[in-house]
């Protein structure tokens, strides 16, 4: 079971690498924001899985922080794109 | 638990490949929301099943699941609305644009009442000053 969780963590890191390619070569800003939004979710899952794999419950707070505040970036960026600096 | 983990990882991987390969912002947004809903939830449920719902791992996985379920539609909708109002072109193979009639008309109704300045900047943005912001 621990091995399965470790493998899942590695697959999530692979997925994050795939999404970083889209962050790098997205033609518009919105492509990059979409990829970053998904990337934050996958990194949250990777941190949770790594906390379960390494049996360190202190890492769970990192995952909760990421899940709480990563969407703020998307909302702020979309508000800026829509209305400007206000 | 292994089945839930495999399902979530398979959907997440296909969503990542979709974000890489889709030709358009809006299609990529669709792949992103599918990834969160059907890709992250089974992984979190697998963690809850593996560790138990009242342990620190399972409980925080449930908290993260609730946060993702609430916040992701909000963020995705705001991002799609911003992408459309900035004027990012659709894929040429798209067949219908149902928001074109309302977007080309008067001002889009602002969500907060009585903010004339927001409406003014939105009107200035509709003329094309926001075009270079999306690039």
When the pLDDT of each residue in chain B is averaged and rounded to a whole number, the result is: 78
Name which residue leads in pLDDT, B57 or B114.
B57
- Substitution target from B55, B57, B79 for chain A, most A beta carbons within 10 A: B79
pLDDT at A73 over 60: yes
pLDDT above 90 covers a percentage of chain B that reads: 36
Closest to B64 (Cβ–Cβ): which among A30, A38, A44?
A44
Q: Report how far residue B33's alpha carbon sits from residue B18's, in angstroms, rounded to the nearest whole number.
A: 11
Give B128's pLDDT tier (boundaries 50, 70, 90).
very low
pLDDT (tens digit per residue) in B55-108: 888 999 999 999 999 989 999 999 999 998 888 888 888 888 877 776 555 444
Q: What average pLDDT does range B106-134 have in this prediction?
A: 45
């Amino acid at each position: 079971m621990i091995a399965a969780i470790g493998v899942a963590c590695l697959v999530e890191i692979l997925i994050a690498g795939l999404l970083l390619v889209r962050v790098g070569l997205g033609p518009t800003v919105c492509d990059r924001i979409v990829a970053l939004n998904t990337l934050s979710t996958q990194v949250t899952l990777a941190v949770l899985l790594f906390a379960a794999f390494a049996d360190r419950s202190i890492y769970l707070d990192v995952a909760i922080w990421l899940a709480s505040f990563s969407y703020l970036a998307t909302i702020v960026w979309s508000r800026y794109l829509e209305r400007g600096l206000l | 638990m292994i089945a839930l983990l495999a399902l979530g990882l398979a959907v997440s991987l296909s969503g990542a490949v979709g974000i890489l390969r889709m030709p358009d912002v809006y299609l990529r947004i669709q792949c992103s929301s599918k990834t969160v809903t059907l890709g992250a939830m089974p992984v979190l449920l697998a963690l809850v099943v593996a560790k138990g719902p009242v342990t620190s791992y399972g409980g925080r996985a449930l908290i993260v699941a609730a946060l993702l379920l609430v916040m992701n539609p909000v963020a995705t909708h705001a991002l799609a609305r911003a992408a459309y109002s900035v004027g990012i072109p659709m894929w040429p193979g798209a067949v219908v644009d149902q928001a074109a009639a309302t977007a080309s008309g008067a001002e889009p109704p602002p969500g907060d009442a009585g903010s004339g300045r927001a409406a003014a900047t939105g009107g200035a943005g509709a003329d094309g000053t926001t075009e270079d912001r999306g690039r």
